[in-house]
Structure 1
Amino acid sequence: MISGFVKNELFNEAIQLYRRMINCGVGNPNKSLLLSVLNACGAVGAFEIGRSMHCQLVEEWFSLDVDFVTALIDFYAKCGDIEKAKNIFNAMPYKDVAAWSAMILGLATNGKNKTAIDLFEEMEQKGPVPNGITFVVVLVACNHKTLLKKTMVYTC
């Protein structure tokens, strides 16, 4: 039900249902559920709930695999804590294309366009092969007037 709320952009309803579930002591949430709730928190800026979930994930039985870490990067960036997102990204031992893309987008949407482009260039050297989503994210980063020439290079 919670994942359905998130897929239909009913983020507050998803968070409310998750809170009710936790308050009623209905079992332990699985990975899919926690990822959905974390995405909902990022979408509506529910910083405290998302941050407490992060603490719970670290302290309890979930290992923070690349999916969780990418969701945390996305969450913190959407909530405006780009430094926390960068710290999490930098601490990742393995970064897939989704993690790189999430960090580049997070930087771009927080006004760090030049840093986003620099990170993309680092990805090209070190990281996985960019995908279509990555290139869309780079275009977002290039929307700054001084970076318009970079857009031309990446779209040609």
Structure 2
Amino acid sequence: MTSPPGRTPSGTEVPAVTLISALQSLSRAQREAAARIAHDLDWPRSGVAVLHLLAKCGPTSLTDLAAHLRVDLSVASRQVSTLADAGYVVRTVDAEDRRVRTVELTDAGRALAAEAAEQYTNLIDRAFATWSPEDLAEATRTLHRLVDTISADTAHRRSPQNQQESA
């Protein structure tokens, strides 16, 4: 079976496939930038992401942390353990629900998160120096739309109703 010009065998428009390829390139570029900053901080890239999130959100449950990072709970737990062992975060038991573990930054964690934020700011200043505020706003709107579109499809496929329908 051949697909019509401009479509994949499944019927998806070729520009959408090209868009996904561009998003993959963006993801790689972002990982490389994060890895460079983590290297400069002498810290694993995943740990810097956790510190950034905690600096932004404040004390957070381990479950919410994993959801925000879009990683498995076991992955988030390992990252938090590494940070806790280094003295950058503390884990506490929630007073209202003792099953919930809350993670928060220590003073050392806040200092490292601030240093990472400064490096990200410097990178952003260099990388986007030639972009206008309008270009940045348009790119931001487009990226949010992309995230919402892909996330909606992913959430739809994970929904209990769809799992029952496919069983």
- TM-score, structure 2 normalization: 0.27
- TM-score, structure 1 normalization: 0.28
Higher Rg:
2
